[in-house]
Structure 1
Amino acid sequence: MNIRKCHGRVITVLGCTALVLSVTGGAVAHGGGRHDVAREVLPAGDGWGSYGTGTSGGAAADAEHVYTVSTWAEFRAALEEGGSAPKIVKVRGTIDAVADGCDALAVPGYDFDAYLEKYAPETWGLETRLDAEPDDSPEGLRRASAAVQDQLIKVEVPANTTIIGVGRGAGLKGASLQIKGVDNVIVRNLTFESPIDCFPQWDPRDGSKGNWNSEYDSVVVYGSTHVWMDHNTFTDGSHPDSAAPTYFGMLYQQHDGELDIVRGSDHVTASWNVFADHDKTILIGNSDNAATTATDRGHLKVTFHHNLFRDLVERAPRVRFGQVDSYNNHFIGDDTYAYSFGIGKESQLVAEHNAFTLPAGVSPAKILKKWNEAPLTAAGNLVNGEPVDLIAVHNAEIPAETLQSGVGWTPELRTKVDPAWAVPGLVRHRAGAGRLR
């Protein structure tokens, strides 16, 4: 094989546009003159993500900052290469961030059976948290093991980046994308299998019976602006909650959220995604406390359109503070359904022209869940094919949680608004990974 050097590294005859990042099969940067879907930008007027400077991700990347990756090591290396210079990272196939399994992440001495024995409610009780346990205790060893996983599966996405799946079978399994403190990011055409927390913590004081608490969202948008999430699929995949065991009488919860948008993030559009088979799905704003109030008030402007929310328990989304526009989405409930829209502190939700398919015996009154006093606008929605005033039916059936109509703002950044009756068919055929046109 004919080889030569480029930038001090040995490459094949493909030349300097094929920059090998590691001798063991690193990510490759390449260019091309033809139209490339990876260079597409969020169209003007397409939701809050198009506000101001808009969202272009890595569309301006030069050939040296376009990478194709197929392993977790390559993916991380590609994101780190070149700082915040515009870049495109193309994901080929499914990349597993925890390919060696949870056991490989446990520190020496960690023993889950010993953890269960020591902190069982009948011996430990329900009054004392585990935070003060020493490092050599079962809880201390759990903390150390959790830190190993945290370091492995979280990866920070720099500014001016597009991450896009190649073809129909691209995805990330067990990973947590951290879009943190940056501007201008696009994530498209990926299937995210929710990361499982290998080492959930038992909290004896969470609720009347104690509870298991887990970490890790598939994607976290934290203090960031101009983000476009498009044509992705979020699912629990091979580790659904229905298959999880119970310990101490409570579900051994190993999942957190699918997409969280928090800490003053702004100008986000989520379009044509599938959110499926999950419990705590999406948070807009993660706390009511004073610190987050100061950060989030006036921010968290997010648009959801043409997404499929299927077989979810709750939070689609739960909203605090943000001006959230949710239109032309299809919500399909099952027997675990709790609610879709959570109305939280100072939330400013507009929910219009959506379609809901609920199972027999589930009332449309459940679609809205009031957590705090905040008005909303909900018009033009269909439930099982029939027009329903979501606020009126909620107030009639749940008078103790009366909701106020009229949010006080009108969304202007919308593409074509389809009639609600057409939404199920459109979303069924076009939403999710592998369906970019």
Structure 2
Amino acid sequence: MKYRQIAVTGALLGLLCVPAHAEARDISRDTLPAHDGWASEGEGTTGGAAADDAHVYTVTDRSELVRALDGGSATPKIIRIAGTIDANTDDDGDHLDCADYATDGYSTRKYLAAYDPRTWGSAKPSGPQEEARQASAAQQAERIELTVGSNTTLVGLGDSAVLKGASLQLRGANDVIVRNLELRDAYDCFPVWQPNTGGLGDWKTAYDNIWLRGATHVWIDHVTLSDKGHPDEKEPTCFGRNYLRHDGLLDITNASDLVTVSWSRFADHDKAILIGNGDTATGDRGKLRVTLHHNEFESVVQRAPRVRFGQVHLYNNRYVVPADAHDYRYSIGVSTESAVFAENNAFTTPGHVEAADLVKSWNGTALHQSGTLFNGYPVDLLAIHNAYNSGSERDLTADVGWTPTLHTKIDSAATADREVARGAGAGRIP
């Protein structure tokens, strides 16, 4: 009788309880849904969904990842990242730090002594220490720049897949999907001093977490990008400027086109997203068509995004500026010949950040905006910008010359704010 009672209880538990470790849905062959942003144009974006079984890889370290990427080949492939992969490792899997890359007598101390503006002046660095810096930088780049070729899906397994220290390079690639992956800390060991940048000089770094150059049909979804591990704010001040170690989180340049970035999280960083990298890059005209929707920008100083030339649809995104963010500059940057169509985005900021701070214009003149919430209240970013710009910025017009047709359901800014807070970033694909 006692055995029968235990058996009945077990049966009831099986009916009422869900297993603690239910098997996750396989998302590695997912393709971009129809009408989901610019990357759905034409034949859409399918990544490596057509890969045969021989070209489906599960990788757990840098060496396996490099072999699977196959030098950026166009063979359809699915690469599933399990656990944490550190790009700063040698072929045996041992961690490499900046001292391991340094060569030809380079040292930070010697570099700073050689190019101190008080003695070197304002000339571009040259000579033994700059040459040693370049050689050292080349050694690091060989390890951490990972080329992603056409017809590739790169996806994280489970809810904790991490690629740290790497810079994913999409050069001329077509049809690429990157999903469910945390990319953190693309750390530059050897930043270069540029004496004439910004009038006072500045440090320039080399690596973006993801860099699209001439890439087309790219879907980036449910990724988390940050400087986690080595935030720039904790780096020292050298030559009166923050000794930067990171560049952008995501750069879309060199006539890249038809890109959708969705349900992703950009956090704890200075320059988040650059679309178009130069005012004179006229070859970008007609390209740089990008959709950004349901993304979260938290503790981001600027470029969320900054746009040149492109037709960019920006909807249902969530912006959070923390109370202690005294270096905040702007969120939406309107630059040369850009045409930004912004709908139903939500901004939450502390008292020292005003609605007039959210948009900055350079040579750009076109911004459509509607449905914007600022600290819970509706605002017209266009009218505020034109009323309160500093005088050095041009007035903006709402006529951007196009109307988006490729998009998913556009919710109110308030609804999107809640949903993005719950659902954006790696490990949160429903």
Structure 1 contact 65–82 (Cα < 8 Å) conserved = no
Q: Which amino acid aligns with 2:387?
A: A
* Offset, 1:374: 2.1
Structure 1 contact 381–387 (Cα < 8 Å) conserved = yes
Instruction: State how far apart, in whole Å, the 2-side matches of 1:145 and 1:365 are.
Output: 43
Instruction: State how far apart, in whole Å, the 1-side matches of 2:266 and 2:198 are.
Output: 28
Matched, 1:114 2:132: no
SS in 2 for 1:391: helix
**Corresponding position of 1:297:** 285
* Offset, 1:213: 1.0
**Corresponding position of 1:16:** none
SS in 1 for 2:111: helix
* Offset, 1:48: 0.3
* Offset, 1:36: 2.6
**Corresponding position of 2:7:** none
Pairs within 5 Å for 1:22-421:
36-80=26-70, 83-98=73-88, 99-126=95-122, 128-130=123-125, 133-134=126-127, 137-289=128-280, 292-293=281-282, 295-334=283-322, 335=325, 336-398=327-389, 400=391, 401=393, 402-421=395-414
Instruction: State how far apart, in whole Å, the 1-side matches of 2:73 and 2:255 are.
Output: 23
Change (3 A) 1:62 1:351: same
Instruction: State how far apart, in whole Å, the 2-side matches of 1:342 and 1:41 are.
Output: 30
Change (3 A) 1:311 1:35: closer
**Corresponding position of 1:31:** none
Change (3 A) 1:66 1:123: same
Identity over aligned residues, as a percent?
51
SS in 1 for 2:75: coil
* Offset, 1:399: 5.7
**Corresponding position of 1:7:** none
Instruction: State how far apart, in whole Å, the 1-side matches of 2:165 and 2:71 are.
Output: 22
**Cα deviation digits, residues 5-53 of structure 1 (max 9, x gap):** xxxxxxxxxxxxxxxxxxxxxxxxxxxxx97311000000000010001
SS in 2 for 1:242: helix
Runs of 4+ that moved beyond 3 A: none
Structure 1 contact 194–217 (Cα < 8 Å) conserved = no
**Cα deviation digits, residues 363-406 of structure 1 (max 9, x gap):** 11111100113211011111111100001111111162222222
> Mean alpha-carbon deviation: is it higher for 228-237 or for 406-415?
406-415
Q: Which amino acid aligns with 2:335?
A: G
* Offset, 1:104: 0.8
SS in 2 for 1:191: strand
Q: Which amino acid aligns with 2:98?
A: C
SS in 1 for 2:142: helix
Instruction: State how far apart, in whole Å, the 1-side matches of 2:249 and 2:72 are.
Output: 28
Give the structure-1-normalised TM-score. 0.88
**Corresponding position of 2:20:** none
SS in 2 for 1:38: coil
* Offset, 1:81: 7.3
Instruction: State how far apart, in whole Å, the 2-side matches of 1:261 and 1:117 are.
Output: 36
Give the structure-2-normalised TM-score. 0.90
Q: Which amino acid aligns with 1:181?
A: G
**Corresponding position of 2:427:** 434
* Offset, 1:160: 0.5
Instruction: State how far apart, in whole Å, the 2-side matches of 1:207 and 1:275 are.
Output: 25
* Offset, 1:153: 0.9
Structure 2 contact 224–265 (Cα < 8 Å) conserved = yes
Instruction: State how far apart, in whole Å, the 2-side matches of 1:150 and 1:117 are.
Output: 25
Change (3 A) 1:82 1:102: closer
CA RMSD in angstroms comes to: 1.4
> Mean alpha-carbon deviation: is it higher for 206-215 or for 188-197?
206-215
* Offset, 1:108: 3.9
**Cα deviation digits, residues 236-265 of structure 1 (max 9, x gap):** 101112111111121101110000011111
SS in 2 for 1:276: strand
Structure 1 contact 194–258 (Cα < 8 Å) conserved = no
**Cα deviation digits, residues 336-371 of structure 1 (max 9, x gap):** 321111101000100111111011121111111001
* Offset, 1:303: 0.2
Instruction: State how far apart, in whole Å, the 2-side matches of 1:35 and 1:212 are.
Output: 44
| Structure 1, gaps ≥5 residues long | 1-33
Structure 2 contact 72–147 (Cα < 8 Å) conserved = no
* Offset, 1:207: 2.9
| Structure 2, gaps ≥5 residues long | 1-23, 89-94
